[in-house]
Amino acid sequence: MDKKHIVVLSGAGISAESGLKTFRDSDGLWMGYNVEDVATPRGFEKDPQLVLNFYNERRRDVAAAKPNAAHIGLAELEKDFDVTIITQNIDDLHERGGSTRVLHLHGEIFKMRSVNDEHTIYEIIGDINVGDLSADGSQLRPYIVWFEEPVPMMEKAAALLHDCDYFVVVGTSLQVYPAASLLHYAPAFLPKFIIDKKIPSVNNYPNLHLIEKPATEGVEELKKLLHK
């Protein structure tokens, strides 16, 4: 018998319980920086080393963090279900928690890319600095989808919602677009579970199951509901 397919959309709230600061808790500031200065192409053009330093620090933060019970709990669902994670997060905590199919909408902190070619991508563990060049001779930058840039994985993510049995949204405020629009793509008949310590405004969607708890507790409850 084929396993049922769960698609999960995860956001910053799931990694917050591993100690990684969330953008949404910061009133337009991220770790003390204006978002425009460190998370837009304009910011990179204006002061590339500031932006590189910011992501070098985020890379160190992620390397020091550990997956929590929510990451591990979602991975454990793979024993009984096919599970695809669509994450807005740039960290690798889903992978380290054991999930085997993870689609990163907004890029990955442990990768870097050519400024001129988004498909020239390299793994990175250390720092990127001004003057570090890719094979095509252009400056290297974080492999991150910044504000004001297209989200190339959106089409693939949206298609997954027409080929699944359950849709789970965990730890996201559903405020960052286009990722937040994934809920619109979910068919009306599809059972949808929303897990967040503060449930966003989603009252007009059919087949909703709301679990107003932090991600670690909410995923535990989800596992019980799915195994009933």
Task: Give the model's pLDDT for residue 175.
Answer: 72
CATH code where residue 175 lies: 3.40.50.1220
Task: Give the model's pLDDT for residue 219.
Answer: 98
Task: Give the model's pLDDT for residue 198.
Answer: 87
Task: Give the model's pLDDT for residue 183.
Answer: 85
Report how many domains make up the chain: 2
Task: Give the model's pLDDT for residue 68.
Answer: 98
Residue ranges, the chain, pLDDT below 70: 1, 22-31, 176, 203
Task: Give the model's pLDDT for residue 172.
Answer: 87
- Residues 163, 226, single domain; the answer is yes
3-state SS, the chain, equals: CCCCEEEEEECHHHHHCCCCCCHHHCCCEECCEEHHHHCCHHHHHHCHHHHHHHHHHHHHHHHHCCCCHHHHHHHHHHHCCEEEEEECCCCCHHHHHCCCCEEECCEEEEEEEECCCCCCEEECCCCCCCCCECCCCCEEEEEECCCCCCCCCHHHHHHHCCCCCEEEEECCCCCCCCHHHHHHHCCCCCCEEEECCCCCCCCCCCCEEEECCCHHHHHHHHHHHHCC
- Residues 32, 7, single domain; the answer is no
Threshold 0.95, pTM exceeds: no
Residue 106 known to be catalytic? yes
Task: Give the model's pLDDT for residue 203.
Answer: 66
Q: Which is catalytic among the residues 5, 71, 106, 184?
A: 106
- Residues 11, 60, single domain; the answer is no
Tell me the residue range of the domain where 115 lies: 22-64+109-144
pLDDT tens figures, 124-152: 999 999 999 999 999 999 999 998 999 99
